[in-house]
Amino acid sequence: MTTDLVTVPLGATLEAAVGEMLGNRVGSVLVTDGERPVGIITETDVLAAGSGTERPFGDIPVSRAMSPNLVTIGPEKRPQDALEKMQNYGIKKVVVTEDEELLGIVTTTDLVRHQSDLVEEVTDIDRTQSYPSL
């Protein structure tokens, strides 16, 4: 889970959201209303918003470009639960919340890293095992 989150307020423009994405080298920003997460803007959302209009990004509110139906998961859930939600909803990011408080985000990259860590742990265990001669 990534806890260093990049957010923009609900009243921001798409230009501000893109600026945050580029400045922080991330593929999405969470949209918040106060402290409460209300949407997400991904690179795909930016492309869709830009291709459908001649308006500059500074004139497009994030509320028009964001995906408002956040898929969330609790902090106690397993990585497999996040993966299942991603598969069920066809998404690459699941927002971690508790009582509407924004805690983090789980991405497909996080899951790949987790899988790599598990493989490394199993390999380390395998190396330390001594097997009797057959």
Position 58 scores a pLDDT of: 95
- Torsion sign across C-alpha atoms 36, 69, 40, 57: negative
User: Which whole-number Å values give the CA distances from 53 to 21, 41, 96, in the listed order?
Assistant: 21, 17, 32
Domains of the chain and CATH, by start: 7-128 (3.10.580.10)
pLDDT at 127: 63
pLDDT at 100 (0 to 100): 83
pLDDT of residue 113: 83
> From CA 35, how far away is CA 102, in angstroms rounded?
7
- Pick out the chain residues at pLDDT < 50: none
pLDDT at 20: 98
- What per-residue confidence (pLDDT) applies to 126? 60
